[in-house]
Structure 1
Amino acid sequence: MATLVLTTVGGLAGGPIGAALGGMLGQAVDRNVLFRPKGRHGPRLNDLAVQTSHYGQPIPRLFGRMRVAGHVIWATDLVERRERQGGGKGQPAMTRYAYSASVAVALSARAIRGVGRIWADGNLLRGAAGDWKVPVQFRLHLGSEDQAADPLIASAEGGENAPAHRGIAYAVFEDLPLEAFGNRIPSLTFEVIADDAPVPAATIAQALAPAVIASVPGDEAAMLPIDGFSAYGDSVRSVIETLAEVAGAWFVPIGDRVAMRGDPAPARMLAGGAGQRRIAPPARAPHAMTVSHYDPARDWQAGVQRAVRPGALGAAMSIDLAAALPAERARAVAETMLARTSSARATRRIVTDIAAVDVLPGSVVSLSGEPGAWRVRSVEIERFAVTIELVALPPPVVALPAASGRVLRQVDVPAGQTIVHVAELPAMMGEGAGPTIAVVAAGSTPHWRRAMIHHSIDDGASWTAAGATPAAGTIGTIVAAASAAPATLVDRRTVIEVSLAHDGMMLTSMDAAGLDRGGNLALVGDELLQFGSVEQVGACRWRLSDLWRGRFGTTPALLAPGDRFVILEREAMLRILPLTGAGGTVRVMARGVGDEQGVEAAVRLTGAASLPLAPVHLSADIREGALALRWRRRSRVDWWWRDHVDVPLGEEREAYEVTVTTAIASHIVVTAVPYVTVPLSALNGAPLRAAVRQIGSLGASSPATLTLGDDE
């Protein structure tokens, strides 16, 4: 402020009298030449919210902890990558295009301690624990005076052309995936940790203008802790005045410098003497004061606090503070500023003797015989008389409660490690006759979202992208052993107890109609089964009953503790066409944002999912010297008995191999119909064992068997 600075300079030249004269000159210069009040522009709230990239744009100096957008100071063009997916077993391949970019963002023209959370287009990109929500290569330069150039920028621009940006803290994203942001560089905001704790207002002012601002020991108002502050604007003066407004302070000369002061306690008493008293009309003072600020409780987004004078007639005033303050402190700032503007209606002009020549502008005095404190606004000395202009100071403001309002924070917890299972599955529920390799993945916490999947058929020598997993699956393990049961009956005896991966996974009961539509289908070990009733028996522990065993041609098995439990739902499965024949192994690698390395699973293809199902209802009848065998075929094409007559064949032709064996001979018959007659003379003995296999396009089914003794 010109008044204060020129007052100090005048004091150096002519002592107290010179200081007073300098103050008079400074006031005139301040009002009319250098710093017209309506012409100054300090930092505004929206200046920190929008990311910019302009030459000559000032970079703020950050103090405390702030959320800023920063300035893009370097970026590459979009990089296009092509990934070929599918194309096996005569199926068409799909080429997927992915885009990325590298970008550097300047954060602060002052060294910082680190960075907390990062948002991209308002969505959390990096959590408070340093965990990334999407895979990112990130480097942070803290802004030291000896920092080296970023290696990516140096590689792209050449070592001799790459600035190190010393003294500027900046962040570099390398190959940032842009798919989630519409294939464009998102608007990034950073929670910058410039200091480990809130910084006093006077300390910030002194850091900005060390040649002008002196320290203020013991002044509670000037030492008001500010959670975060962004120092930039048209001039240093505008920034320092903003700090003074936040702290409820003003400036006083100390030696050849000035200092912030906010202590209203009078340092000296003056005689009232002759003079004038003036009280401006009530309408001159605002009836309400609104303070906009950054609220730490709102993730450093803008907050508003308002103070009101009941019954007042003046206009409302508002001020933008580029400072981070809790709601209670911002309310106190609004109350203090409103009280100060109201009390400033009362001014005094007193004339006293030369004994008051050492009273300086900014001092706090009291008047004999009058209550209250007064701040010295100006001092004039003429003919050994000292004329002092005073403005009334308000009494201390009572702290009032304040709230930040409803805060809708984004969930910020680590995504957890990926859990992945892969299995060879038959066609299910009208999905055609061909088998698939199904990948189901989930995380160790409820906040896992997805993972990128690659597969290999050459034992990891090469990997092919298969895309991203869809929704997280429901995955767990068997806790207690369970016996096998026939697939032809509802198993009401067996109870399966499972432990799910985390408490966010849920299971629900389902009636028979829902099960018939394919609901509650699970892969347990290598068996497909469905369950009708569930009961939660503990954290992540569930008990399953009313079981439909051996679904879709799988064999009911003895279930052991530790066997996998995977719910099979279309929206949670990534399907891969078989890439190799029976006997081959498919390795799958999943990598989510919480995985430092890929998580692998493998399946050895047996080919069973491609073979016909074993015939059922095998029966035998011996009459007229011949053995007559009959059976029913099954089909993988459609698991419903829609017309109550027959099911689709699902093979190129219908064929069966019938083997009838005795103790001394075997007789094999191939037929195209589901029955056969074998003369007993060709069998030569008893007992008899009959085995029937359906011959499919890729092999034969497992046998349906029947044994006949001597008495049958």
Structure 2
Amino acid sequence: MATMVLTVVGTALGGPIGAAIGATLGQVIDSQILFAPKARQGPRLADLRLQTSRYGDQIPRLYGTMRVAGSVIWATDLVERRQRQSAGKGQPKVTTYSYSASFAVAFSSRAVLAVRRIWADGNLLRGAAGDFKTALGAFRLHRGGEDQPLDPLIAAHKGMASTPAHRGLAYAVFEDLQLADYGNRIPSLTFEVVADEGAVSIAAIGHDLSGGAILAQEDEALPMVSGYAAGGGSIADALAPLTEGMDAALVADAAGLALTQGRDGGEVLAAGLAGAVFNGKAERGVKQSRGRVEDVPVRLVVHHYDPARDYQAGAQRAERPGAGRLERSVDLPAALDAGAARALAERRLQRLWIERSAMEMRCDWRALRFAPGAVLSVEGQPGRWRLEQSEWEAMGVRLRLKRVDGGAVADPPAEAGAPVVQVDGLHGPTHLLLADLPPPTDEVLAAPLVVAAAAGEEAGWRMAELFVEEEASGGLTPLGTTAPPATMGVVAVPPVGAVSPWLFDDRSAVEVELLRADMMLAGAEDAALLEGANRALLGQEAIQFGRADRIGETRWRLTHLLRGRRGTEWAIGAQQAGDPFLLLDQESLFAIPADQLRIGADLVIDAIGVGDGTPVQARRLVTGQAILPLAPVHAQAVQSGGAWRIDWTRRSRNGWRWNDGVDAPLVEERELYRIQLVQGGTLIRAAESGEARWIYDADAIAADRARGFSGAVIAEIRQIGTHGVGRAASVGLSI
């Protein structure tokens, strides 16, 4: 008796492989191409999301476009940088530390075309335009060619003789990446890799993985995939998730091995072939069987990567009615849109349901012409059948067949879910503004308050490094990174002047042009305004606004104003078009350290952002508004006899609220005022007073007349404070 069994090699491939050439060829295909010893499962989705650095970890073979993590194959120690800065007058200096590292990450064991976006700890590190959101020294991509050279940084670190070129392995080198955004450690990276241009066919993947044993031509009915990550202990492991999910079978013919869905059913197995005689005994021609309904899952979920969601993991579900409680999931490390994944789940569940039906036929020798793997129509039987096994024995042929599905599944509705997508905007150049602010709160300050506000015209701007220029040497002292982007712009239409700083200004309106369209302003109720809401700097005047109306893409109209806030009434009406506008949001302002500030000094700050080709510079004269006394109010001059009595009311840096019957606290070391009499820009007389009044007596008036002065005179009153002289209140008189 001679027996030849042509078995299915592809249980793990989702369909049979025809070994029509004979058992020897089948054995070669099984052990050398598809089923290597000690095979394991292919990659799960989690394998592509988690960065590793373990020796021996497998690096996937990528096709199409995929988002994958990698393995850290080389890294330096962290580089520590120290910086000492003052925490304020009378406070000890604070030492801050920053860290960077250089490292290499491998992500594909097949050559790639390019890397687009890169994520670090889930946040965008590199945009589609190739711009980095975090500062680094350099970035190099080694595409995995067989002729790629050594990386110069790795070679310099390890030595030329000890540095492999990693040919055939695609990897990226990050040089001096700043780690402050990532908890001062190397972040977990994922890469959007372009290994092939456009979608890729299943046959092309199989052809590459099998070293050419599988033909590159495939059944046109098989879908394409946007990307695929192959991995596992064997070629079968690498192909199984794809072929099973796509319902592909591996068949053999005269041309070789090919992947197909085999849905044509063109050949007909005639009923007359059934009823063979085995060992002189006629047997029944057809025997049918059907599996239990409970063995078919009621719910099947396909996990995949969705390009519409930045290649984040997605899940699409198919369900069937009827008995059973079994659920099954398929991890498909491929890039598919939601609709394709849903159709795949429906098709897979339909296939499992239909494949419950099996049939065994006993035929005469003419049935030898049907190759295992072929999809046939069987005369007298509904549907189509895949030939799973053909056995020649005693002048008869035993065929084993399994029912296959009835055709394509109509595209079902699918929803990818709300994507968690980070805006990929260019960083762009930095805009930097220095502002010498009045006291922002009721706290009494002991040092000037100068802030740096920075932002970019592009939505991707995040931060910049700040440096102060040394006055003498011209050297740069690092200050750290800027605060988050400030809401800033310029005055387009200034408000009117000559308004009261003590009342709401409903006559004026100011129009401002913000730096970019995603910067927003909002109105506030009066109660919130009186508690300090919506403070802004308009030129050098501090204002508050109760209403903000958007009148253009970046233009806003501000009304219901409070003017000259916190002692800046002297700047009312001084604005011109093009003057800076800054929303005084404390979280977006960087306070310059007190040890870098000196009243009267010219402060120069440089900012260097990721998108800046050269440093951006801003200058500001330090006036110390936050620590100088405010200008007195209610100044009046009353003539009595031959003398003038000048009175005024003192204001306080700690007296912003009106408390009836209580004097504002002095705050300064002592109460002292400077009075200057000025005529036509010429100083006539100067005096000091320890109280809020001064007498310009008859003798002094006579002496000034004798010096040639007469007519209208302006008296300027300034309070002398602990840190300097404040601004003046003025009153007119005549001599």
Query: Where on the TM-score scale, by shorter chain, does this alignment land: which range?
Result: 0.7 to 0.9
1:360 corresponding residue in structure 2: 371
The one-letter amino acid paired with 1:424 is D
Q: Secondary structure in 2 aligned to 1:432?
A: coil
Q: Secondary structure in 1 aligned to 2:520?
A: coil
Residues 456 and 113 of structure 1: CA distance in aligned 2, closer, same or farther (over 3 Å):
same
1:12 corresponding residue in structure 2: none
2:156 pairs with 1:155: yes
Residue 330 of structure 1 and its aligned partner are, at CA, apart by: 2.8
2:708 pairs with 1:687: no
Partner Cα separation in structure 2 for residue 327 and residue 699 of structure 1 = 69
8 Å CA contact 1:457, 1:579 repeated in 2: no
2:287 pairs with 1:277: yes
2:251 pairs with 1:239: no
Q: Deviations over 1:140-195 (max 9, x none)?
A: 21111111122221121112211111110012222223333222222222222111
Partner Cα separation in structure 2 for residue 241 and residue 668 of structure 1 = 95
Residue 248 of structure 1 and its aligned partner are, at CA, apart by: 1.4
Residue 281 of structure 1 and its aligned partner are, at CA, apart by: 3.5
8 Å CA contact 2:386, 2:401 repeated in 1: yes
What are structure 2's unaligned runs of at least 5 residues? 11-17, 276-284
Q: How many residues align?
A: 695
1:438 corresponding residue in structure 2: 451
Aligned residue runs from structure 1 range 112-151, under 5 A: 112-136=112-136, 137-151=138-152
Which of 640, 651, 671 is equivalent to 1:634? Answer: 651
1:330 corresponding residue in structure 2: 341
Partner Cα separation in structure 1 for residue 517 and residue 720 of structure 2 = 47
8 Å CA contact 1:20, 1:379 repeated in 2: no
Aligned residue runs from structure 1 range 243-392, under 5 A: 243-255=242-254, 257-272=256-271, 273-274=274-275, 275-283=285-293, 285-288=295-298, 289-311=300-322, 313=324, 315-382=326-393, 384-392=395-403
Q: Deviations over 1:305-347 (max 9, x none)?
A: 3434433558444433222223333333333333434433433
Residues 229 and 487 of structure 1: CA distance in aligned 2, closer, same or farther (over 3 Å):
same
Residues 441 and 640 of structure 1: CA distance in aligned 2, closer, same or farther (over 3 Å):
same
Partner Cα separation in structure 1 for residue 241 and residue 626 of structure 2 = 74
The one-letter amino acid paired with 2:553 is A
8 Å CA contact 2:602, 2:621 repeated in 1: yes
8 Å CA contact 2:494, 2:577 repeated in 1: yes
Residues 20 and 659 of structure 1: CA distance in aligned 2, closer, same or farther (over 3 Å):
closer
Residue 564 of structure 1 and its aligned partner are, at CA, apart by: 1.0
Residue 603 of structure 1 and its aligned partner are, at CA, apart by: 0.7
RMSD over equivalenced CA pairs, Å: 3.5
Which of 436, 439, 444 is equivalent to 1:424? Answer: 436
Which of 512, 516, 527 is equivalent to 1:502? Answer: 516
1:396 corresponding residue in structure 2: 407
Partner Cα separation in structure 2 for residue 449 and residue 294 of structure 1 = 29
Q: Deviations over 1:224-248 (max 9, x none)?
A: 2122211111111232344322331
Partner Cα separation in structure 2 for residue 340 and residue 134 of structure 1 = 49
The one-letter amino acid paired with 1:122 is G
Residue 627 of structure 1 and its aligned partner are, at CA, apart by: 3.0
Which of 538, 541, 556 is equivalent to 1:524? Answer: 538
Q: Secondary structure in 2 aligned to 1:683?
A: helix
1:101 corresponding residue in structure 2: 101
Residue 200 of structure 1 and its aligned partner are, at CA, apart by: 0.7
Partner Cα separation in structure 1 for residue 683 and residue 701 of structure 2 = 6
2:418 pairs with 1:407: yes
2:582 corresponding residue in structure 1: 566
Residues 153 and 558 of structure 1: CA distance in aligned 2, closer, same or farther (over 3 Å):
same
2:731 corresponding residue in structure 1: 706
Residue 5 of structure 1 and its aligned partner are, at CA, apart by: 10
Percent identity between matched residues is: 42
Q: Secondary structure in 2 aligned to 1:160?
A: helix
Partner Cα separation in structure 1 for residue 683 and residue 466 of structure 2 = 53
2:484 pairs with 1:466: no
The one-letter amino acid paired with 2:701 is L
Residues 701 and 74 of structure 1: CA distance in aligned 2, closer, same or farther (over 3 Å):
closer
Residue 588 of structure 1 and its aligned partner are, at CA, apart by: 1.8
Residue 82 of structure 1 and its aligned partner are, at CA, apart by: 1.0
8 Å CA contact 2:85, 2:595 repeated in 1: no
Partner Cα separation in structure 2 for residue 477 and residue 572 of structure 1 = 17
TM-score with structure 1 setting the length? 0.87
8 Å CA contact 1:140, 1:171 repeated in 2: yes
Residue 634 of structure 1 and its aligned partner are, at CA, apart by: 2.9
Residues 375 and 38 of structure 1: CA distance in aligned 2, closer, same or farther (over 3 Å):
farther
Partner Cα separation in structure 2 for residue 103 and residue 19 of structure 1 = 51
2:21 corresponding residue in structure 1: 19
Partner Cα separation in structure 2 for residue 532 and residue 109 of structure 1 = 61
Partner Cα separation in structure 2 for residue 30 and residue 660 of structure 1 = 107
The one-letter amino acid paired with 1:494 is S
The one-letter amino acid paired with 1:106 is A
Q: Secondary structure in 1 aligned to 2:213?
A: coil
Q: Once structures 1 and 2 are overlaid, which stretch shifts more, 177-186 or 307-316?
A: 307-316
What are structure 1's unaligned runs of at least 5 residues? 8-15
Partner Cα separation in structure 1 for residue 46 and residue 651 of structure 2 = 69
Partner Cα separation in structure 2 for residue 596 and residue 662 of structure 1 = 52
Residues 626 and 381 of structure 1: CA distance in aligned 2, closer, same or farther (over 3 Å):
closer
1:164 corresponding residue in structure 2: 165
Residue 107 of structure 1 and its aligned partner are, at CA, apart by: 0.5
Q: Secondary structure in 2 aligned to 1:225?
A: coil
Q: Secondary structure in 1 aligned to 2:517?
A: coil
Partner Cα separation in structure 1 for residue 404 and residue 98 of structure 2 = 64
8 Å CA contact 1:482, 1:560 repeated in 2: no
Partner Cα separation in structure 2 for residue 290 and residue 558 of structure 1 = 67
